[in-house]
Structure 1
């Protein structure tokens, strides 16, 4: 399969949030200009060295891609369009933080082909935003969202988090009320995971990070599912909800374990059954790119058995599950020949359904999905 999706990493933020372990840095406009010099060269090399089809999805992630000023934003979009052909109707997503956009910048994104925005809201409760290290407040969310609508964006995602320090069920319920009032086309909602090396991890180790108990975290997840379903959002993945025809097509490439290109410091790609990792250091990345080399620091060929595991574990995140026909087409073998024992066990436990079309998580399994996923690690 030739990839028809591209992820582009923009590793700049106004500040580092206390829970974030993504490859991101606080930097200057001059460094950002140099980064775009490097990205331009990498995109040229990437377009020539790896196979690809006209792109059906592109995702600018970070970091915060909207940290670029208007001129840099225009250049970012021009780089994409110069080196890659886009398929008709391609989905082009850009991550943004509230407070990092203005009308001119949003119009430049739109004119460059972007047609989907994803705002990192996380909470509408200002004291919790401060505890997360976020720079915006709830009022800024409304202002940025309104500007995006004025610029003509008709597909907007808003991110929420739950299980946060200081968060109660009523506080989370209020954030849900506010988000459905805005009526974005897509909502992503994740339970906080304390990642190693973050300030949150250090504070947790020292006993200074007080998180809601597990039963409240589960209650928030149930409240999330019930509330969004009642307001017309279809749950299509364990953390993602969308109105009709607004599922994120790019993320489904990952969940289906399909190939994708990647560029930008710290990005990961997957082409010809090989996963590759781009140099994460921004100065090193720029230097390597400008020397005329792709800044790949790691390549790993994925064995067939691991590919099958990935297809099951990633695919079960989707509510429609892993389709039998797609699995056989992808791996040349029937799903039951590989995972029959595991599927039967989870069906008996009421955690999976297995029908003629697909194997799917049950509602009972959604809060403990990781336990199901781990059961398919058999290689």
Structure 2
């Protein structure tokens, strides 16, 4: 089984923290782009016949900024051209302000069975600082519209560590999100990415970020509040009701195979990683001319793939199965890392059992540092 990722690179505006492949103000390119994606899907099917697809994920950008008359045919094409598993998880990311009850009902009727709403905050001041174009009233309408449209697998995405945010305002956002009884919650700590307006503001000293103690308090609060609401912490930033974990992302965290289409999209099949051109117009031109939009390809050797499986898989709270690694690579974590694991264990950062390698609670709080050691 494999996953399929569909990238829609358009958005209404570029948020100051965003480093993803996304472009505002390209409405005129959207019909051409949709045609190019459908063409790439057809090419992919010819190359990878009979490959069963278990999950489909449309991300961005903001996929729902694409008009439904352009978006739905892409999902129809996937259903017609690929062998989808009977219980395939078909997800789409959506932002408040780009959806209505009617548009969401059409998406649900088209077979999309999971929606991830990028709410980010239920605090107007924080939404403004994040550069979001909507406010809490519109966010609330989007949640209720998704539920009314029949989405019974609803995920809400939030960001904490926002400039000017306090543990109290973060708790308010958490509690309001959980009051809608979502099946899944993603809580991402704000990271300052190079080349973004936030990075420039930080360099000038103009970014009022919460202190380390407040961040630690928010981390602990998130786990506690989600647990009380019946959501299990299954990955560093993700919480879900039993059986509602994001299967597409789990396949990624387990370093499984995933296809991809669209500008900037990355695929990895049997250790061959391919990246497509980011420019939507260049992407369209290449596909229209019968050329592959892939501009970069890497064939991962066994040890590189092994290390990636460890680093990505350690994001999950269950950690990495040592038996699975041996079955897949013929290598155990002790063979690869040796004394480094002893040092990480002595520092209280990882736990190594006869069956698994996992981050400790403390290790998860400094996960980026720990995982950088294991690359």
Q: Distance in 1 between matches of 2:30 and 2:347?
A: 52
- Distance in 2 (CA, whole Å) between partners of 1:197 and 1:221 is 27
Q: Give the structure 1 partner of residue 283 of structure 2.
A: 285
Q: Which residue of 2 aligns with 1:273?
A: 271
CA displacement, residues 71-100 of structure 1 (integer Å, 9 cap, x when unaligned): 112222222223212111000110000121
So what's the TM-score if we normalise by structure 1?
0.96
Gapped regions of structure 2 (runs ≥ 5): none
Query: How far apart are 1:248 and its partner, in Å?
Result: 0.4
**Any idea what the Cα deviations from partners look like across 1:56-79, whole Å, max 9, x if unmatched?**
011000001101222112222222
Cα distance in 1, alignment partners of residues 326 and 302 from structure 2: 13
Q: How big is the shift at 1:341?
A: 2.5
The equivalent of 2:87 in structure 1 is 89
> Hey, which bits of structure 1, 4+ residues long, moved more than 4 A?
none
Q: Distance in 2 between matches of 1:24 and 1:139?
A: 25
Q: How does 1:26-45 map to 2 (within 5 A)?
A: 26-45=24-43
Q: Give the stretch that moved more between structures: 358-367 or 330-339.
A: 330-339
**Structure 2: distance between partners of 1:277 and 1:56:** 22
Cα distance in 2 between the residues matched to 1:343 and 1:247: 29
Aligned counterparts of 2:270 and 2:348: Cα–Cα separation in 1:
36
What's the C-alpha RMSD, in Å, of the aligned pairs? 1.4
TM-score (norm 2): 0.97
The answer to whether the 8 A contact 1:117-1:153 is kept is yes
State the partner residue of 1:4.
2
The equivalences for 1:198-347 within 5 A come to 198-347=196-345
Q: Is contact 1:73-1:105 (8 Å) kept? A: no
CA deviation string 1:229-248 (max 9, x = no partner) = 12111000010000111000
Q: Secondary structure at the match of 1:375?
A: helix
SS for the counterpart of 1:33 is helix
Cα distance in 1 between the residues matched to 2:274 and 2:68: 31
Distance, in Å, in 2 between the alignment partners of 1:316 and 1:141 is 33
Contact 2:52-2:84 within 8 A present in 1 as well: yes
> 3-state SS of the aligned residue for 1:58?
strand
Secondary structure of 2:366's aligned partner: helix
Report the Cα distance in structure 2 between the residues aligned to 1:28 and 1:327, rounded to whole angstroms: 44
- Structure-to-structure mapping, 1:153-192, within 5 angstroms: 153-192=151-190
Q: 1:32/1:358 Cα in 2 relative to 1: closer, same or farther (>3 Å)?
A: same
**TM-fit CA distance, 1:51:** 6.0
Tell me: CA distance 1:205–1:71, structure 2 relative to 1, closer, same or farther (3 Å).
same
- Give, in whole Å, the separation in 1 of the partners of 2:240 and 2:338: 32
Which segments of 5 or more consecutive residues in structure 1 lack a partner in the other structure?
A: none
Any idea what SS the aligned residue of 2:117 has? strand
Kindly indicate whether the alpha-carbon contact (under 8 Å) linking 2:185 and 2:239 is maintained by their aligned counterparts in 1: yes
Aligned mates of 1:29, 1:20 — CA distance in 2: 20
**What is the aligned residue count?**
375
2:103 corresponds, among 102, 105, 108, to 105
CA distance in 2: counterparts of 1:343 and 1:231, whole angstroms: 35
Bigger mean CA deviation after superposition, 253-262 or 102-111: 102-111
Shift of 1:52: 6.2
Q: Counterpart in 2 of 1:141?
A: 139
C-alpha distance in 2 between matches for 1:345 and 1:118: 39
Answer whether contact 1:45 1:294 (CA < 8 A) is retained. no
